[in-house]
Structure 1
Amino acid sequence: MVQLYFWFSGLFLLFMEEAKTAKENTDPIMVMGILGESAILPAEIPLGKKLVNINWSSRTPVAIVQPDPGTSFKLIITHQNYVGRLNVISLNYDLKISPLKMEDAGSYRADINVQADTTSTMTITKNYLLHVYRRLAPPKITQTSMISKNNTCNITLTCFAEGGEDVKYQWTPLEEQAIESNGKSSLFIYRRPEDAHINYTCTVTNPVSNNSESILVHLCADCLSGTFDPSCCILLSVLVKLVLITLVGVGFYLWPKIKQGRIFWETMQKNIPSLGWNSDFLEVFNIEEEEKEESLVHPLTHFPFLLNHLPNITIL
């Protein structure tokens, strides 16, 4: 009798362990979705089992699904964040979330209650892990260049994908060393000025999408040959801007003086005949062309000369 008792006890414990394994999946089901699109959490109701209800939850309760003879199912949303974004696929009671938000990512749990027999029910628990990704836009590539002492052009290409999670980078052609750091990929290239230009492509991928961008690499010598690679020509462009600013400043400073000189000479040419001065005075007052140009800037240069020839004019 004692041996029979232990045999039944062992059989019962084995049955309970098998039942526990059948009721809950310890490894979560991985589900991937795209931001703004949809994701489906599969319920997977066992064949031959009649569904009583499904309690969906995440960090908080999400929804309750109940079979309904009239509409095939009844959906009760228990969290405001999911209002208007949940639906049930009537054939298998899978839960559909659409459109997806980034905050939807995380762990989900489904407690599926089914009839084990005519008098009892059984709960099957399923766990899910939802990942939400963005579709990748074309990455951005920047180039920096520097000439070394041995006349080698050291070029660094940096590729960056915005809003990327689990992003992988690939360079084509991959001739030199590439390093990934802080969500970016840097490619180091060493060329001589006489080497041909090469087109490099950076391809970015995540679990739901991929995209790429290309750049034609200009060598450091292009800054002097007229190609004007921005990374090489920053200093030259700054110098050009400084020269332009200086010329504009000098122009603003001299223009009032030049304008004042022109007004002075125009006034003198109008008033000299009316003063009755003879031709001898005009010949004496005739100034060389170079002196006139200088007088435009300094209109009072000949003022003492004029005072000596204006006896009839009283200076107030």
Structure 2
Amino acid sequence: MGALLWSLLLLLQEAKGFSGDDEDPEEVVAALQESISLSLEIPSNEEVKDIIWFSQKNLVTVVPGKEGTPAVIIVMDPRYQGRVGISESSYSLHISNLTWEDSGLYQAKVSLNTSQLSITKSYDLRVYRRLSKPHITVNFRISEEGACNISLMCSVERAGMDVTYTWLSPQDSANMSHEDAIISTSWRPGDRALSYICRASNPVSNSSSHLIPVGSFCADPGSPEKPSMSCLLAKGLILLFLLVILAVVLCVFQARKNYEMSRVRKLKRNRIKLRKKGKLGPSLD
């Protein structure tokens, strides 16, 4: 009978859904696979009858215990089994091992015994991934006038939503920043060599790249030309090709040598057989 009453109560609360106060939800951010607590503020002079936590549907029902007994906590949504807990003192909701699907609206409805009123608190939970170290892609072209035009592109693997990219230069005395994933600049031999750092940020983390010296990507016409990456790659392929040819030649030479040695051994065996036959002398008829 008690189980039936509980089921009817929970179905009634689920039918009400997010009805109640129309307050704007509090924005809360958290990191993927980490934890978050959605706190409640209940007046100390109020006696709590029960708390219903909602998400897309009924999530957790909490009935405070009487005379020092622990509260009854019923997890209704199987997606949260083993991942949610309730604070005994404040009845705040604690969610661990957060997933992308945990993002969304949450609401706590607190029913009070003393004032026969209810308190409603809403949250908008957004889950983000902590950012890894940014990757920098460099493109440059030397113009006919000798200027080196450089483009730096900053990216983060599996960055997700709401990522901001900012370029900083330690040599910039004005401490100016450029907010974009791509920054373009130019450099001439003799100019001050600037360096840049890309900083990627989202609501739960930020990460910076290593220092990128712009002048190092352009060869100075007045100094020995630095080998480009494509040139180094071509040289490596040529060396590999020569090593392969050398290996093939050695294999052929060894095979031919083995063949000659086998042939010589065969001739020696035939000569020994002929000598033995000669020692037997003429046959008698």
TM-score normalised over the length of structure 1: 0.62
Asked whether the equivalents of residues 35 and 100 of structure 1 are also in contact (C-alpha less than 8 Å), the reply is: yes
Aligned equivalents of 2:177 and 2:85: distance in 1?
A: 49
Question: Which of 172, 178, 193 is the equivalent residue of 2:168?
Answer: 172
Question: Which of 139, 142, 147 is the equivalent residue of 1:144?
Answer: 139
Query: Which AA in structure 2 matches 1:141?
Result: I
1:202 aligns with 2:213: no
TM-score normalised over the length of structure 2: 0.68
- Secondary structure of 1:109's counterpart equals strand
Asked whether the equivalents of residues 193 and 219 of structure 1 are also in contact (C-alpha less than 8 Å), the reply is: no
Gaps of 5+ in 2: 1-19, 261-285
Q: How far did residue 257 of structure 1 move?
A: 8.0
Asked whether the equivalents of residues 105 and 122 of structure 2 are also in contact (C-alpha less than 8 Å), the reply is: yes
Task: Report the counterpart of residue 232 of structure 2 in structure 1.
Answer: 237
CA shift digits 1:291-313 (9 cap, x unpaired)? xxxxxxxxxxxxxxxxxxxxxxx
Task: Report the counterpart of residue 52 of structure 1 in structure 2.
Answer: 49
Q: How far did residue 39 of structure 1 move?
A: 1.1
Task: Report the counterpart of residue 30 of structure 1 in structure 2.
Answer: 27
Task: Report the counterpart of residue 126 of structure 1 in structure 2.
Answer: 121
Task: Report the counterpart of residue 184 of structure 2 in structure 1.
Answer: 188
Aligned equivalents of 2:158 and 2:248: distance in 1?
A: 52
Task: Report the counterpart of residue 73 of structure 1 in structure 2.
Answer: 71
Asked whether the equivalents of residues 49 and 113 of structure 2 are also in contact (C-alpha less than 8 Å), the reply is: yes
Gaps of 5+ in 1: 1-22, 265-316
1:212 aligns with 2:212: no
Aligned equivalents of 1:247 and 1:99: distance in 2?
A: 54
Q: How far did residue 84 of structure 1 move?
A: 1.5
Distance verdict in 2 for CA 1:95–1:251, change over 3 Å: closer
Q: How far did residue 170 of structure 1 move?
A: 1.4
Asked whether the equivalents of residues 178 and 188 of structure 1 are also in contact (C-alpha less than 8 Å), the reply is: no
Query: Matched residues, percent identical?
Result: 33
Task: Report the counterpart of residue 303 of structure 1 in structure 2.
Answer: none
- Secondary structure of 1:91's counterpart equals coil
- Secondary structure of 1:244's counterpart equals helix
Query: Which AA in structure 1 matches 2:117?
Result: M
CA shift digits 1:86-105 (9 cap, x unpaired)? 11122221111123222211
Q: How far did residue 259 of structure 1 move?
A: 9.7
- Secondary structure of 1:108's counterpart equals strand
Question: Which of 126, 135, 139 is the equivalent residue of 2:130?
Answer: 135
Query: Which AA in structure 2 matches 1:74?
Result: V
Report how many residues are paired: 230
Asked whether the equivalents of residues 168 and 178 of structure 2 are also in contact (C-alpha less than 8 Å), the reply is: no
Asked whether the equivalents of residues 167 and 177 of structure 2 are also in contact (C-alpha less than 8 Å), the reply is: no
Asked whether the equivalents of residues 169 and 203 of structure 1 are also in contact (C-alpha less than 8 Å), the reply is: yes
Distance verdict in 2 for CA 1:171–1:246, change over 3 Å: same
Q: How far did residue 62 of structure 1 move?
A: 1.0
Q: How far did residue 192 of structure 1 move?
A: 1.0
Query: Which AA in structure 2 matches 1:188?
Result: S
Question: Which of 72, 95, 98 is the equivalent residue of 2:96?
Answer: 98
**Cα RMSD (Å):** 3.3
Aligned equivalents of 2:220 and 2:128: distance in 1?
A: 40
Query: Which AA in structure 1 matches 2:91?
Result: Y
Aligned equivalents of 2:46 and 2:30: distance in 1?
A: 29
